[in-house]
Amino acid sequence: MNHRVLALLLPLMVAACAPGPSTAPKNLVLITMDTTRADRLGCYGYDGVSTPNIDRVAERGTLFTRAFATAPITGPSHASILSGTYPPFHQVRDNAVSAVPAEIPWMPEILRSQGYLTAGFVAAYPVKAAFGFGRGFDYFSDVMEAPPGSVFITNLHTVGVASRKGEVVSREFELWLERRSDGPFFAWVHYYDPHWPWEAGAGFADIYPEEPYDAEIAYMDDSIGTVINALTDAGLSDDTAVILVADHGEGLMDHGELTHALLVYNATIRVPLVVSIPWIEQVSSVSVPVSTVDILPTVLDVLGLDD
């Protein structure tokens, strides 16, 4: 077993030898939350915003209090999550500059080779299929439009980058889940809403008028609820692992940086990581430092694909 799996997984494996509820292949839903600070979620102790859906995943699983991203920017960080490697290896060092190399390990490609149906639903330009993020997916949804007059600047502020709202992404997942073919599946669901500029939908801007970033967090949580409810309604909750993780945080002027991409303080590098694996008895929280590169090898292990 990869030594990085041990750091992330062993605290969870309180009863790893106990049989699960069934011997059927298990499913996996990976939810990546763009630009989400750990200290802005209820399950991490923040009371300034309501995040009931993320919190209920945490209640059922394990919350990692010291999880860290490999880069404070969307493309490189997601490449690390999906490949289990650091930027010097996968060579994705900025948004929309270089594509994910075809030869590196890739979560959806590995799972598809093991008989999993794979689907991806992404919400922003930096993780489009054009940059290699669609590799290994049977279905990949990345249709979006940039607002009129948009300007894209890498490593600084991203103004009007092509993206779409979380409720659209969640609805696409919901429809796909209803119509998918039989067999185990892996779905990646990506939300972009907490990214600047902060313009929350569904009335959340009115609920948090003084905290537009928090409003986006609440709106994203509501969208995540659609995914969690869809799994429950389909009777899949007990056979589906759910991993919630952010690609990076947000500066919010803690150290003079409004957004992210330049500085590597906890505000932009420490991320929320919640892992719910229903067929494994889990502890409620883990304080051992872990990296988002630990996710892929851990996934392969808990799905029984680490041989």
Per-residue pLDDT of 212-237, as tens digits, reads 999 999 999 999 999 999 999 999 99
Q: How far is CA 269 from CA 36, 66, 82, 168, 215, in A?
A: 10, 10, 17, 27, 21
* For helices 74-83 and 295-302, angle between their N-to-C axes, nearest 10 degrees: 30
**Distance separating alpha carbons of residues 63 and 55, to the nearest angstrom:** 10
- Predicted local confidence at residue 236, as pLDDT: 97
pLDDT number for residue 155: 45
d(CA 307, CA 3): 14
Neighbours of 52 (CB within 10 A): 14
Q: Are 82 and 106 in contact (CB under 8 A)?
A: yes
pLDDT, tens digit only, all 307 positions of the chain: 455 655 565 555 444 434 344 456 799 999 999 999 999 999 999 999 999 999 999 999 999 999 999 999 999 999 999 999 999 989 898 887 889 999 999 999 999 999 999 999 999 989 999 999 999 999 999 988 665 555 444 444 445 578 899 999 999 999 999 999 999 999 999 999 999 888 898 999 999 999 999 999 999 999 999 999 999 999 999 999 999 999 999 998 888 887 888 888 889 999 999 999 999 889 999 999 999 999 999 999 889 886 5
Strands 270-276 and 240-246: antiparallel
Helix (H, G, I), strand (E, B) or coil at 274: strand
Residue 127 has what pLDDT? 95
The amino acid sitting at 31 is I
Chain length of the chain? 307
**What are the respective helix, strand and coil percentages of the chain, to the nearest 5?**
35, 15, 45
Residue 247 and residue 37: Cα distance in Å, rounded?
A: 10
Neighbours of 17 (CB within 10 A): 5
pLDDT of amino acid 156: 45
CA distance 34 to 32: 6
Q: What is the pLDDT of residue 148?
A: 53
pTM of the model: 0.91
Within 8 A by CB and 6+ apart from 295, the residues are 8, 30, 81, 84, 243, 245
Could you tell me where the DSSP H helices lie in the chain?
Answer: 3-9, 52-60, 74-83, 87-90, 107-113, 166-179, 204-207, 212-233, 266-269, 295-302
Locate tokens 């799972």: which residue?
Answer: 111
Q: Determine the angle formed by the axes of helices 212-233 and 52-60, rounding to 10 degrees.
A: 50
Find out whether 93 and 72 touch, Cβ atoms under 8 Å.
Answer: no
Burial zone of 127 (CB within 10 Å; 0-12 exposed, 13-18 middle, 19+ buried): buried
Contact predicate 129/142, CB 8 Å: yes
Residue 231: its pLDDT value, please?
98
Please write the tens of the pLDDT for every residue from 125-165. Answer: 899 999 999 999 999 999 886 655 554 444 444 455 788 99
Nearest Cα to 108, choosing from 126, 124, 91, 129? 129
